[in-house]
Amino acid sequence: MGKVVAVCGMPGSGKGEFAKIMANQDVPVRSMGDMVRAEVASRSLDPSPTIFGEVAADLRAKHGEEVLAVRLADEVDNLLHSHAIVIIDGMRGTAEFDIFSNRWDSRFSSMAIVASKEIRFSRTQSRGRSEDGDYSQFEIREQREAGWGLMELINSADFTIKNEGSIEDLIYQSQKWLGNFSQK
C-alpha cells in the first residue's frame, strides 16, 4: 500500500502550487481547502475574504478539530489501493496531523512549504482567490491558522521546501523531492 504526504504551510506559501506540480506528475492530490470552499458553496454563502475562515472554524467547533481530516481519510485510503503516493494539500492543525499519523503510521509524512511573510502576502494579493483580502485580513487568517497548531506542524515537518524563488525553482525542488521520496 502507498504513502501519504500531508502538506502544510502558512497562507501564500505555495502549498497549492506544490500540489499542482505533484498532480502534473500523476500523483493524486486531495485539498482540505477545497473541502472548505465546497462547504461555503453548499451553504450558498457569499465568498467574501472572511467567510472561508469562519466556515472552517464553524466546522471545527461543531464537529471537532479533526473534522476535515476524518472526512478526507477514506477517500485517501481508496486512492492508496492504486497509487504509490497520495498528497493531502492544506493540513493546518495538530488534530488533523494526529488523525493522519494514527491512520497511516509509518506510511505518513508531512511536508512544509515555507516563505517569508512579505512574499506570502504579495502572492495572496496576486492570485485572485475570494478568501484573500487586505493585509489586516491576511493577519487575521495567519493568527487563526496558527491557533490550530500550524506553526507546530511547519516546525516539525518531515520535509521542508523553501519557496521564495520562481515557479521554476519550486518545480525543480518539488520534482527533486518526489524523485528522492519515491525511492524510499
Give the tens place of pLDDT for each residue, 110-150.
Answer: 999 999 999 999 998 887 776 767 888 889 888 888 888 89
| Residue 128, pLDDT score | 73
Spatial separation of the C-alpha atoms in residues 56 and 48, rounded to whole Å: 13
* Structural domains present in the chain: 3-173 (3.40.50.300)
Contact 79, 28 (CB under 8 A): yes
For the stretch 117-141, what's the b/e string if a residue is b when 16 or more beta carbons lie within 10 angstroms of its beta carbon? eebbbebbeeeeeebbbeeebbeeb
**Per-residue pLDDT tens over the stretch 60-69:** 899 988 898 9
> Does residue 105 have a pLDDT over 80?
yes
